[in-house]
Amino acid sequence: MNDLEISVAIEAALVARNPRHMQKARAALEPGYYLRAASMLRDVTGTVLIGTGFPVENTFETDGPVGAIALYRALETLGAQPIIACAAPLSRCIDDRHRVLNLLTCDIEQARGEAQQHLAELQPAAIVSIERPGLAEDGRYYNMRGEDISPRTACFDHFLDLADCPTIAIGDGGNEIGMGNIADTIAQLDIRASVTRCDELLVSDVSNWGAYGLIALLGHWAGRDLLADIAPLDILRYLSNRGSVDGVTRENTLTEDGLPASEGAAVIEQLRTLSR
């Protein structure tokens, strides 16, 4: 298979289960979107900001951080300088092993200034958002249940709005950063949709898996099996010990969106086969 064919196969595999109708989202995107997004990260040696962290009650969900950590490790292996941008409590939970940019404010206007300052200082070569809440049309943030989570959601949207570098966003439901790219399609789903856009939107049944799709292509080009060393269960244990919860069940379990870690591991094996 050529690169485009590999990308299209990855795109199909990542929405095969279709629990939240991401096959509809896929149909609204021009084929090859994983290829185009991965190309933005190919040969990057500078700073890559990876925004993640979806608040659930007083903690954070497992979907997003698992993929962010996996992508962080892959990019670091390839010579980039990844930084995970997230808010407390996630920021405090992972800064022992990762470079972290702590997002401070839930005030949308103040957050704009915060984003401008950090972008000027860090000069990122690319920005990736993985399962990060996106602003709805009314300027608020909502979870999959339609609950307003604005008071607990630090704004990352402005980093993508103001960036002068390529921006990528991964989502699995419609309320995440980037879904503004296919607003008409997402409007058909039962979700308070995000209107925030990005350069390249990626969809998958679990947002963590979208990160694996990027890693598969980056490893394919580098001639390295970057997915071989990713163990979702180990990352889930690391996060669970620090208070994470499943975003669907809201329980502190070694699962992502109600699915066991074995599902993520199976996806990785499928992507390894496709990208060889």
Domain of 144, in residue numbers: 3-271
**Cα R_g (the chain), whole angstroms:** 17
Residue 202 covered by a domain? yes
pLDDT of residue 18: 94
Provide the terminal-to-terminal Cα distance of the chain, rounded to the nearest Å: 10
Residue 201 covered by a domain? yes
pLDDT of residue 243: 96
pLDDT of residue 107: 87
Take residue 189 and report the two structure tokens written for it: 């789903």
Q: Which amino acid is at 197?
A: R
Residue 212 covered by a domain? yes
- DSSP secondary structure string, 56-123? ETTEEBSTTHHHHHHHHHHHHHTT-EEEEEEETTHHHHHTTTS-EEEE----HHHHHHHHHHHHHHH-
Residue closest to 49 by CA, chosen among 114, 117, 101: 101
Residue 276 covered by a domain? no
Domain count, the chain: 1
Contact assessment for residue 168 and residue 37, using Cβ atoms and an 8 Å cutoff? yes
Tell me how far apart the alpha carbons of residues 128 and 70 are, in angstroms, rounded to a whole number. 13
Looking at residue 243, which CATH number applies to its domain?
3.90.1640.20
Q: Region of 92 please: left (phi>0), alpha (psi -120 to 50) or beta.
A: alpha
Task: Tell me the angle at which helices 232-240 and 65-77 cross, rounded to the nearest 10 degrees.
Answer: 120
pLDDT of residue 28: 98
Residues whose CB is less than 8 angstroms from the CB of residue 120 and which lie 6 or more positions away in sequence, other chains included: none
Determine if the pTM surpasses 0.85.
Answer: yes
Rounded to 10 degrees, the C-alpha dihedral 253/258/261/266 comes to 180
Take residue 46 and report the two structure tokens written for it: 């500078």
Per-residue pLDDT of the chain (276 residues; tens, 9 = 90+): 899 999 999 999 999 999 999 999 999 999 999 999 999 999 999 999 999 999 999 999 999 999 999 999 999 999 999 999 999 999 999 999 999 999 987 888 899 999 999 999 999 999 999 999 999 999 999 999 999 999 999 999 999 999 999 999 999 999 999 999 999 999 999 999 999 999 999 999 999 999 999 999 999 999 999 999 899 999 999 999 999 999 999 999 999 999 999 999 999 999 999 998
Residues whose CB is less than 8 angstroms from the CB of residue 78 and which lie 6 or more positions away in sequence, other chains included: 44, 218, 222, 226
Residue 109 covered by a domain? yes
Residues whose CB is less than 8 angstroms from the CB of residue 158 and which lie 6 or more positions away in sequence, other chains included: 111, 112, 114, 115, 116
pLDDT of residue 120: 98
pLDDT of residue 118: 97
Residue 45 covered by a domain? yes
Beta strands at 100-103 and 47-52: parallel, antiparallel or unpaired: unpaired
Helix (H) or strand (E) holding 267: helix 261-275
- C-alpha pair distances (Å), 25 with each of 39, 53, 146, 191, 200: 21, 22, 19, 13, 13
